[in-house]
Structure 1
C-alpha cells in the first residue's frame, strides 16, 4: 500500500490501528505497558495509530481503566506515547469520547449518574439516563476543546471525536434518542449543534498542521439507531462546515445487544462488510474516508483501497495478532503473517472481563514488557514435545525460536487437537486458522514433527531429551445418567465427526455453556432436526465472549431452537430426558426426545505425567493436561511455561528438575 496524506499529515502506508480499549492505563493515564503496546505496532510498520478514547469530562468517568485527559498533568504521559510511536515513523492521533447513556458508570461497586441528551432508555446496560442540563452541553463541548489542546501539547498529529457506536454525540444526532425541545434538539441543525460546538472547540485548540477527524457509525443496527441516510447527511454537512478533515467509518451501536455485535464483529461476520457502507459516505464527501470492520487480510485491504471504497483501512485486530503484519507485507513475507481469526476472546473479551488486552494466538500482545522476544541460547537443549494441539505447537515453536533442538510427536494423523473439531462447527471454520498459523510457524522453525507417533515412557528413555513438554490434552468426562441404556445418548464429538447419527428429536445437554452446544444446535437444526438446547447455566454461550454469544443466540432464535436454561441432565428413557433445575430441586422434564447429545466437560490426561514424575525425568505440563480450558490458556502456557521450564533446566545443570 502506498503512502497517503490527510492535509499536511503524511502516512507511510494506508494501514491504521483504530482506537480500541486496551485496559493498559495506569491511574487513567498511559503507563509503560501502554507505551510498549503501541510502540510494538509502530515498530511493526503501521502507518497510523489512533490511541483509545480518552474521557474529557467528568460526567463520563468511572472506576474502569479508561484514559482521562481532563487536566494538564496528564500531558507528559501522553507525550511518552507520541514520542515512542513517532520514533518509528508512524503517525499518531488521539481519540476523545463521552459514553452518554451507554454506561453504568460503576464506581466503588455502585452505579453513578448517567447523562444523555434525553431520558431515553438504553437497552444493553438498562440505563434510563438523566437529561443533560442545557448549560452542561456547552461545558462538554468546551472540555473537548481543552482535551484536544492537551493532545497538541503531547505532540500528537491529530484528534478524533467519536460520534460512533451510539455514544454521546451520536445520541445528540439521533432523533429517536434526542427528544430535546431546546437548541440542541428537534431539527437536524439543532441535533448537530453539540457535535459542531465540540469540533469547533477542538479545531481552535489544535495547531494548523494537526488533523481533526470524526468516527461515526454508517448505521447503528438498532431499532432506534441512526440510519444510513441520516449519517450521509450529517457527514456532508460537517464537511461543508469545514469542521472535519476525515471520516473514520464503522457500524453498530453499544446501546443494544444486536448493534453491539458490530462494535468488534466476530468471525461469523463477513470480512470487510463495512466497506460498502464506507463507499457510500466516500461518494458524498470530498475528504478522506477510513473504514474498519473485519479487514483481517492485507490482500483484502488492498482490494478495498483499489475499489475506491475507502482511502485507509483499519486492520486493528490483525495488528493485535501480528504487530509486524504491515512490515511483513512490505518485505514480501506474506507467508509469515499470523492472521487474526476474529475469535474476540482475548481482545474485546478481556476488556469485558476487566483484563488488559491480549490475543489467544499472541500472548505477548499486551504483555510486551513481561514476555521477551525470542533469543538464541548459548547452550541448546534437546526438547521433546508430546501432543500437537495448540499448546504443543506453541511450545515447540517457542523452544525452537530460542535455539533448542525440538521434536514434536502427535499420536493422531493430523495436528490441532480440539481446534480440529471446533472448526467443524457452523460459522467456526476460521477458528482453524489458529492451527494453520501454528503449523506454518512449526514448518519455518525447523521443528521435527512426527504424526501418528504415540509416545511411551520407553520411547522417551530412548530419546533422552533434556526436557519433555507434555501437551497431551484432555478426554471427555462421562457423566452418570440414569437409564442411559434405555435412551439414545451420543457424544458431541461423535456426532460432529459423523461417527454417530442422531434421530429426529434431539435434546442437547450442554454442560459447558460455550460455543460447542450452540454449534451443535445450529448444525442439527440446519439438517432438519427438532432441537432443544438445555444449558447448565443462565444462558447459552454463558462462557464465551458476549458479542459472539449474542450473535449466536439470535441465530438460534431464527433457527427455531428452544433454549432451556438452568438445566442439568440426570436421566433418560426411550422418549424422555429428565433434567434438574440448576438452582431449584424441581425437575425439568422434556418429552418427545429420541436422542440426547452430550456436551460434557473434559478431564486432563495425566498418565504420562505420573510416569515421568516417578522416574525423575524433567518435564513441564502445558494446556488441557493441566486443566481443560480454552485455546488461549493452551497457547499462553505453551509459550510461557515452556520457556520458564527451559530456563530453569538450563540453570539447574541436571535432568532432575520437574517444572510445573
Structure 2
C-alpha cells in the first residue's frame, strides 16, 4: 500500500533523456570500497543494496578525470578505456531495479589528501594560493595542463556513457577545482581563465562544452556546487549564483550544497553532524530554485521521507539527497512508499562509520547497520535449519542488536535487562548537549525488537542460577561497562563526581569546575558545555592534544568551536595526578611537568570504563555456547558494540 502523504517524493522526474522514478537520491560519496581505481564487486554489491531498496537515483562516487586528480589512494579513475567495463557492470546492476545512475567527474585541484605509499603528491590549482585545512601550497596550472584536464572531463564522460551511465555530475562543490576557478580569491590568473566573473567561468564553460561534444544529446550533465563555502575566503553566494545562472542553459540540473574542504568551518558541511537541523540547506536551494528553470537538487541532513516530502511539496527543490539515510537503511524508499515509516532505521548523523571510516581510509559502514559496506560478507543471512534457544544478557546497543540478529537467523531469543529500560549507555549519551539525536539508535533498535518479536525481560538480574533454570543453548553476554575510577592522590576535602552523574542531573557541582577528561570523546566536551551553560566556570583538562580527539573531525571541530563560544578553558596534554582542598594537580603528558589548577570547587571525572564481566566468570563451566560482545568484552564505542552484537547473533 503506497503512502499518499508522500505523493511528491514518489513522483517521477524527467531530466534530459532520463526519467527518474522518484525524488530520492543517493549523492556521490566516497566508500573506500574500490581497491585499484576501478569499480569492483564490493562497490557493485553496495549500490545494488540501495537500488533494490527503491532509491530513484544513485550518483556514483567521484571519478578522476586526470592523473593529477588522484586525491586519495581509493579514488575511481576514468582516464582510460579500461574503466568502461566496470561502469557497465554497475549500471547494469542498478538498472535492473529501475534505478538510474550518474557518475561524478572530479578534480580536487589543491585539495589533495593522501596516496598509497604516504608520499605527498604535488598539488595543482588555478593559482599558488595555500589551502588552510590541508596545509598545501599548490603549483599553478600551466595553460597546457588546463587544456588536458578539460579534455579529460569530456573523455571521462564519453567512457561513462559507453559504460551505460545515465549522466554525469561535475563536482564543483566543497572547494574542488571548478570552484577554485570561480573564486576570485583562489583564482589570481591573468590569462583567459582568470580575471572578471565571466573569465573565471571560462574553465567550467569549456568543461561542459567538451562533455557535450563527446556525449549524445540526451545525456545528462549536471553541476554540484557549494553555493556558499562557509568561510571568508571561500566562494561566496553572489559569485556562485551568478555562475549557476550563466551556465544554466548548458546544464541538465544543479545540485546545491554548502561548505568547503579547505577549512574547518566549511568542511563540517560535507557531512553535517547531528548538531545541524534536518534539511538546513533547503533555504539556499530555494534561492537557487527562484533563479533557474532547470531542476534543482538539494542535500544536507535530509534523513526522513517526511522532511524530503515537505521540501519537494513546497517547491524548494526537485530532488532530495538522502545519502546517510540510505546508508543506515537501504530499504528506506521501499518502506516509505509502503507507508511503513516507523520501520525505517533513521540516520542519527553521528558520522562515525560513514565519513569517519573514509577519513581513516577504511571502507564505509554505519554504526546502526553493519551490513552497509559489507554486503558481500553479510548481505545474505540464511535462517538456521535448527532453531536454538538463545539468552542475550544485557539490553544496551550490543545486546539489542544481538537479539535482533539472532531472531533473523530464526532462533528463539530472550533478552534480559537488569534495569527498567533498554538502551544502556546510549540513554546517557543522548543527554550530552548537542547529542540528543543519538537516542535515535535506541528508538530504532526498539522497533527492530518489536518487529522481530524478541522476548524481553526487564528488571531481571541474571546470575548462574537464572541461566541454569532458563537452560539456553547459547548465551550472548552484553553486560556493558561502568566508569573506571583512576588512581590519584587525595588530600584535603574536594568534591569529586562522575561525568555520567552530572549528565543525568544526579550530581551537583560548585561554581568552579575542573573536568579531568581521560576519554577525549563526547563525554568531557558535553559535560563542559552543560556546566558552562548553567553558569559554572569550567576548565576542561583533556588527556589528548585536543578535546574530542577520538571522534570524527567534523563533529570534533564543531564541538571545539562550541567550547570556545561557551568560554571553556581547555588544557590539553593533561593527566589527573591528585587533588587537595580547592586544588587539582595534573601532569603534562608530554614533558611530565606539573599543572596546578587552584580555586576549584568540584572535580568531574570523565574517565575510562571497565567491563562488567562477573557473569562471564560464573558461566565459565556452562556447557553451552557463550559469546561476549561490546563493552563487556572490552569497552569501546557504539560501533563495535552493535557490530559485535550483530556478528554474534548471525553466527549462532
TM-score (norm 2): 0.97
Change (3 A) 1:462 1:601: same
Partner of 2:412: 405
Query: Distance between the aligned counterparts of 1:224 and 1:587, measured in 2?
Result: 41
Contact residue 105 and residue 114 of structure 1 kept, 8 A: no
Cα shift at 1:139: 1.0
Partner of 1:562: 569
Partner of 1:135: 144
- Out of 148, 157, 164, the position equivalent to 2:166 is 157
2:312 is equivalent to residue 305 of structure 1: yes
Partner of 1:656: none
Note the alpha carbon deviations across 1:120-177, whole angstroms, 9 max, x for none.
1101000111111122111111111000001011011001101110011100000011
Cα shift at 1:181: 1.2
Query: Distance between the aligned counterparts of 2:498 and 2:372, measured in 1?
Result: 36
- Out of 257, 270, 274, the position equivalent to 1:263 is 270
2:486 is equivalent to residue 486 of structure 1: no
Contact residue 104 and residue 114 of structure 1 kept, 8 A: no
Partner of 2:433: 426
Partner of 2:232: 223
Query: Distance between the aligned counterparts of 2:363 and 2:522, measured in 1?
Result: 23
Query: Distance between the aligned counterparts of 1:318 and 1:438, measured in 2?
Result: 15
Partner of 2:357: 350
Query: Distance between the aligned counterparts of 1:624 and 1:372, measured in 2?
Result: 26
Note the alpha carbon deviations across 1:40-77, whole angstroms, 9 max, x for none.
10000000000011111011215521111111011101
Cα shift at 1:408: 0.5
- Out of 609, 616, 641, the position equivalent to 1:634 is 641
Secondary structure class of the residue paired with 2:619 = helix
Secondary structure class of the residue paired with 2:234 = coil
Query: Distance between the aligned counterparts of 1:271 and 1:547, measured in 2?
Result: 17
Query: Distance between the aligned counterparts of 2:210 and 2:620, measured in 1?
Result: 68
Task: Report which stretch shifted further, 346-355 or 491-500.
Answer: 491-500
- Alignment length (residue pairs): 643
2:134 is equivalent to residue 125 of structure 1: yes
2:480 is equivalent to residue 473 of structure 1: yes
Partner of 2:67: 58
2:286 is equivalent to residue 286 of structure 1: no
Task: Report which stretch shifted further, 34-43 or 7-16.
Answer: 7-16
Query: Distance between the aligned counterparts of 1:630 and 1:157, measured in 2?
Result: 40
Structure 2 matches for 1:74-153, cutoff 5 A?
74-153=83-162
Cα shift at 1:484: 5.6
Contact residue 71 and residue 112 of structure 2 kept, 8 A: no
Query: Distance between the aligned counterparts of 2:492 and 2:465, measured in 1?
Result: 39
Query: Distance between the aligned counterparts of 2:363 and 2:298, measured in 1?
Result: 25
Partner of 1:460: 467
Structure 2 matches for 1:464-543, cutoff 5 A?
464-483=471-490, 486-543=493-550
Cα shift at 1:485: 5.7
- Out of 15, 22, 35, the position equivalent to 1:13 is 22
Partner of 2:615: 608
Note the alpha carbon deviations across 1:344-396, whole angstroms, 9 max, x for none.
00000000011000000000000000014443322111101100000000000
Partner of 1:654: none
- Out of 310, 329, 332, the position equivalent to 2:336 is 329
Partner of 1:73: 82
Change (3 A) 1:76 1:139: same
Contact residue 612 and residue 618 of structure 1 kept, 8 A: no
Change (3 A) 1:104 1:466: closer
Query: Distance between the aligned counterparts of 2:45 and 2:434, measured in 1?
Result: 34
Structure 2 matches for 1:373-384, cutoff 5 A?
373-384=380-391
Cα shift at 1:104: 4.0
Note the alpha carbon deviations across 1:270-294, whole angstroms, 9 max, x for none.
1100011001001000000000000
Query: Distance between the aligned counterparts of 1:95 and 1:445, measured in 2?
Result: 39
Cα shift at 1:105: 4.6
Query: Distance between the aligned counterparts of 1:442 and 1:163, measured in 2?
Result: 43
TM-score (norm 1): 0.96
Query: Distance between the aligned counterparts of 1:236 and 1:72, measured in 2?
Result: 34
- Out of 35, 46, 52, the position equivalent to 1:43 is 52
Cα shift at 1:208: 1.6
Query: Distance between the aligned counterparts of 1:314 and 1:107, measured in 2?
Result: 31
2:584 is equivalent to residue 577 of structure 1: yes
Structure 2 matches for 1:387-398, cutoff 5 A?
387-398=394-405
Contact residue 53 and residue 96 of structure 1 kept, 8 A: yes
Note the alpha carbon deviations across 1:569-603, whole angstroms, 9 max, x for none.
11111211110001112111111211110001011
Runs of 4+ in 1 over 6 A off after TM superposition: none
Cα shift at 1:414: 1.0
Cα shift at 1:549: 0.2
Secondary structure class of the residue paired with 1:111 = coil
Query: Distance between the aligned counterparts of 1:54 and 1:166, measured in 2?
Result: 16
Secondary structure class of the residue paired with 1:369 = helix
Contact residue 517 and residue 607 of structure 2 kept, 8 A: yes
Query: Distance between the aligned counterparts of 1:81 and 1:518, measured in 2?
Result: 43
2:618 is equivalent to residue 593 of structure 1: no
Structure 2: stretches of 5+ with no match in the other structure? 1-8
Contact residue 71 and residue 111 of structure 2 kept, 8 A: no
Query: Distance between the aligned counterparts of 2:186 and 2:163, measured in 1?
Result: 35
Secondary structure class of the residue paired with 1:213 = strand
Query: Distance between the aligned counterparts of 1:618 and 1:152, measured in 2?
Result: 53
Partner of 2:4: none
Query: Distance between the aligned counterparts of 1:8 and 1:110, measured in 2?
Result: 43
Cα shift at 1:615: 3.2
Change (3 A) 1:16 1:525: same
Cα shift at 1:80: 0.6
Note the alpha carbon deviations across 1:512-557, whole angstroms, 9 max, x for none.
0001111111111110100111110111000000000001001111
Contact residue 60 and residue 105 of structure 1 kept, 8 A: no
Query: Distance between the aligned counterparts of 1:585 and 1:425, measured in 2?
Result: 31
Structure 1: stretches of 5+ with no match in the other structure? 647-660
